Amino acid sequence: MAISKLDVNAVVGGLLRDLAFAQTSNQKMFGYKRAAAAVLSLDESLEHLVRPDRTLQKIAGVGPASTRVILEVLETGGSPTVEQAVAASPKRADIERRRTLRSHFFSRAEVLRILRDDTLDGPDPSEYRGDLQMHSEWSDGAPALVEIVEACLARGYEYAAVTDHSYGLRIAGGMSMAEAEDQHRAIESLNAVYATRFRMIRGIEANISADGSLDLSPDEAARFELVLAAPHAKLRSSDDQTDRLLRAVEHPHVHILAHPRGRIAGSRAGVAADWPVIFAAAAQAGVAVELDGDPARQDLDFTLAADALAAGCLFALDSDAHTTFQLRYADIALAHARLAGIPPDRILNCWPAERLLGWLAGQRRDVSAATSWP
């Protein structure tokens, strides 16, 4: 598990965000945030964008002030401009806190470098057959179902699960069960049209409440082919929440524990828990743990993923896309899986459709026999 060199774009992206938070004008703050986002989503390392005369090639969204920061970092490894602005800022303490919440987040350039690094043992991008978390216009995503199918086919996928939010998460446009039923009919007609070319899986992202219960009854959960369970609240608490996640993992209808921590880059650490205990329980219950590829999540990251691998877990590597463009976030999950050295056989997304669908159907345990369900 080696990171051979510094992820310069991630360093610069973090410093530009620090500079954004040190601004008093909203316009300047948005300008630096936009520059940070542009740098983090570049395909190339900034080192390759410096001209022989030590000036920088033009990058869309990056203005002269941000360019100065980039050149400082490339010359010296840090940015005096940013450090001075932070030191003088009344928001200094908050910026220092945010800095502690940026570890193990990769820029896109670093992700692409990891995907090309053939010394790594983990999954090859060509082994990835389909994505198991994404959102459509049926909850808080943008695309129509047919747009998802076409975008997934363009990425070479054989299947995908559409996993809109369930009704407990109203803030994210969660689907009622009646809407879910309509969505299932729409998915069935698409599957009939695409037949052997593509299989859309009827999924749902259930919300794990503070006590570990789900916002779906067992009967309701049973109507979906794939149930993700994910925490969306109480993610800024430092209280131990091992029991909360154990209860979710032991739920008889859950297939995948999605973005297990609920961390957000530079914003919150997510759930504090005894992860080896949770991974052991997930392995025991046959529940897969997710590497969520949203650039701001990267959750689990490669370090915790290595622990989950040692505990015997299965994995899902997902984009958590809310637009078809964001389907490429699956690359980020793949990069973490490669660094963690997860064998493709342990990754649901690398299984042929038949094996995956068989596992999904068999995974659903007899609810009446489950003791942990109230």
CA torsion 193→198→201→207, rounded to 10°? Answer: -120
How many residues of this chain bind Zn ion (CB under 5 A)? 1
CB closer to Zn ion, 95 vs 265: 265
- Sign of the CA dihedral running 95, 96, 97, 101: positive
The span from the CA of 336 to the CA of 286, in Å, is 21
Is residue 359 classed exposed, middle or buried when 0-12, 13-18 and 19+ CB atoms within 10 A define those classes?
middle
Candidate ranges 110-118, 151-159, 181-189, 229-237; the one touching Zn ion (CB under 5 A):
229-237
Candidate ranges 72-80, 224-232, 303-311, 340-348; the one touching Zn ion (CB under 5 A):
224-232
Is 184:360 a contact under the CB 8 Å cutoff? no
Per-residue x/- mask for Zn ion, residues 170 to 189, rule CB under 5 A?
--------------------
The least distance separating Zn ion from the CB of residue 259, rounded to whole angstroms, comes to: 6
Candidate ranges 16-24, 193-201, 223-231, 266-274; the one touching Zn ion (CB under 5 A):
223-231
Candidate ranges 31-39, 77-85, 226-234, 336-344; the one touching Zn ion (CB under 5 A):
226-234
CB closer to Zn ion, 228 vs 347: 228
Among 49, 120, 187, 230, binds Zn ion (CB under 5 A): 230
For residue 196, give the nearest of 347, 353, 357, 348 by alpha carbon: 353
Q: Taking CB positions, which residue lies at the least distance from Zn ion? A: 230
Candidate ranges 50-58, 115-123, 228-236, 359-367; the one touching Zn ion (CB under 5 A):
228-236
Alpha helices in the chain (DSSP H): 8-21, 26-40, 64-76, 80-87, 92-99, 108-116, 145-154, 177-194, 218-221, 242-249, 275-285, 302-310, 330-340, 353-363
Read off the DSSP letter of residue 228: E
CB closer to Zn ion, 174 vs 266: 174
CB closer to Zn ion, 230 vs 342: 230
Contact between 287 and Zn ion (CB under 5 A)?
no
CB closer to Zn ion, 199 vs 297: 297
Is 170:124 a contact under the CB 8 Å cutoff? no
Which residues contact Zn ion (rule: CB under 5 A)? Answer: 230
